[in-house]
A and B are shown apart, each in its own frame.
Chain A
Amino acid sequence: EIVLTQSPATLSLSPGERATLSCRASQSVSSYLAWYQQKPGQAPRLLIYDASNRATGIPARFSGSGSGTDFTLTISSLEPEDFAVYYCQQRSNLYTFGQGTKLEIK
């Protein structure tokens, strides 16, 4: 089973700042990595698929990069609605999720 490790566990930033979230895979997943956002009481929402492709309707401030084992989700300038939990997910070998990064308001 491929294990995804996200860092940091919690990220404290202010609106307008840049957020950088990391996801590391225990073995290469090529570019088969997605990012999701989940707010309290809501289902997750797809942000990025295949490492760098924005899903339909996702603002341009969200971007993804990486390949192989190291991936990054960047939010260029945080909006108040961006504070949430973010998960990475691989689909190279079935599916697994990372443990999540909580992005909180500083």
Chain B
Amino acid sequence: EVQLVQSGAEVKKPGESLRISCKGSGYSFTSYWISWVRQMPGKGLEWMGRIDPSDSYTNYSPSFQGHVTISADKSISTAYLQWSSLKASDTAMYYCARHTDSSGYSFDYWGQGTLVTVSS
């Protein structure tokens, strides 16, 4: 069974750093890209960026370039999304999702989401 399991909810203060994770199982982790998607409270979906776990090649949305870092450790089938200095506006649900050519590079499996709350 394909699964993407994300790390648990986080409560942080502005200026703190954070890394959240997404662990894939039930498939070949290096055969699928992983994307991260933000959903702010009551709002729509925003694509943040993606990584190819086989070589850690990344692309970012212009809206998120320089604000977050996406990485992966293929030895443990895990992708990461990290911030060096959080802002209150980073409060959101964050989803990871996998994609490859078998579903037209669309996001066929999603993680359950990680809620990040940034508040002083």
Q: Tell me if B47 counts as interface (CB < 8 A to partner A).
A: yes
CA A94 to CA B113, docked complex, whole Å: 22
Chain B contributes a number of interface residues (CB within 8 A of A) equal to 22
CB <8 Å contact, A43 and B111: yes
Which of A34, A43, A95 interacts with B35 by CB under 8 Å?
Answer: A95
CB <8 Å contact, B47 and A55: no
CB <8 Å contact, B61 and A94: yes
Contacts A1-B62, A97-B45, A97-B47 given: A44-B106 contact, CB under 8 Å? no
Chain A contributes a number of interface residues (CB within 8 A of B) equal to 24
Q: Kindly report which residue of chain A lies nearest to residue B61, judged by CB atoms.
A: A94
CB <8 Å contact, A49 and B110: no
Q: When each residue 55-90 of chain B gets 1 if its CB lies under 8 Å from chain A and 0 otherwise, what string results?
A: 000010110000000000000000000000000000
Q: Tell me if B105 counts as interface (CB < 8 A to partner A).
A: yes
Contacts A44-B110, A87-B45, A97-B44 given: A55-B103 contact, CB under 8 Å? yes
What number of A-B contacts does a CB cutoff of 8 Å give?
67
Q: Kindly report which residue of chain A lies nearest to residue B49, judged by CB atoms.
A: A94
Q: Kindly report which residue of chain A lies nearest to residue B62, judged by CB atoms.
A: A1
Min CB distance B59 to A, Å, is: 6
CA A98 to CA B43, docked complex, whole Å: 11
CB <8 Å contact, B44 and A87: yes
Contacts A95-B47, A97-B46, A99-B44 given: A46-B59 contact, CB under 8 Å? no
CB <8 Å contact, B106 and A49: yes
Q: Tell me if A53 counts as interface (CB < 8 A to partner B).
A: yes
Residues of B in contact with A (beta carbons under 8 Å apart): 35, 37, 44-47, 50, 59, 61-62, 95, 97, 103-108, 110-113
Residues of A in contact with B (beta carbons under 8 Å apart): 1, 32, 34, 36, 38, 43-46, 49-50, 53, 55-56, 87, 89, 91, 94-100
